[in-house]
Structure 1
């Protein structure tokens, strides 16, 4: 009987605590967030590239600022040894099955097939 009474008292006290929850003290700001103002700054996009060679594949990660694939209509034009290789609409990708030897890879941010943002990054990889 004593155990039942103690359990009931604990349940009642726990249920009673749900009504006095503190309210958050944060204020809602009417200023746009950084992501919303990012595109509005009209800054020239920039491109930084990280790459890693594994076998005959080159794993590429592009870090873009001033550009977003979700809001812009542009793409990345990838050239290997000066020849068009791929067009990508994502910042991370794999250049697969490159032949053995040294290759120069150029990644350029394009507005359309004819118009470039004049933002590019060139690097050399060695496929063994």
Structure 2
């Protein structure tokens, strides 16, 4: 009888251990329309009709320095100049409405900020300096 209980417990644990892939709530689902074209009878080329651009920024303050990390999916940081290529470019850093620098990396430090509240904006630009119309703005308070 003791072995039967142990075997049933092991089977129960194995059955519930596979519950990692639970279905997501409907509110979390994202639907992106696609179109396709037939190259030949055996191959379909699928293309997204909606290229969604997003920027996620993590930042924190240490003393008078602001540490910033930017995540832009499918984006490559390149020096300014050259032809406009989608998915490549750089960042413009604005403080209190003024462009203070252009950055070619995903992470950077804004050093020695003066005390007070400051508006910080990170905007994404193409190689030819035209805007992706993608930016994030936040307020930092330096004490």
Same fold (TM over 0.5): yes
**How do 1:1-128 residues align onto structure 2 when only pairs under 5 Å count?**
43-69=51-77, 73-112=88-127, 114-128=129-143
Looking at secondary structure, tell me which structure has more strand per residue: 2
Gaps of 5+ in 1: 1-39
In structure 2, do the counterparts of structure 1 residues 117 and 44 end up closer, same or farther at CA, with 3 Å as the change threshold?
farther
The whole-number CA distance in structure 2 between the counterparts of 1:106 and 1:113 is 20
1:80–1:53 Cα change, 3 Å: same
Instruction: Provide the secondary structure at the position in 2 that maps to 1:46.
Output: coil
Tell me, what secondary structure is at the counterpart of 2:76? coil
Tell me the TM-score normalised to structure 2 length.
0.56
Note the aligned Cα RMSD (angstroms). Answer: 2.1
The answer on whether the counterparts of 1:43 and 1:66 sit within 8 Å (CA) in structure 2 is no
Which structure ranks higher in relative contact order (CA pairs < 8 Å, sequence separation ≥ 6)?
A: 1
- Give structure 1 regions of 4+ aligned residues with deviation exceeding 4 angstroms: 70-73
Inter-CA distance 73–64: structure 2 relative to 1 (3 Å threshold): closer
How far off its partner does 1:113 sit?
5.7
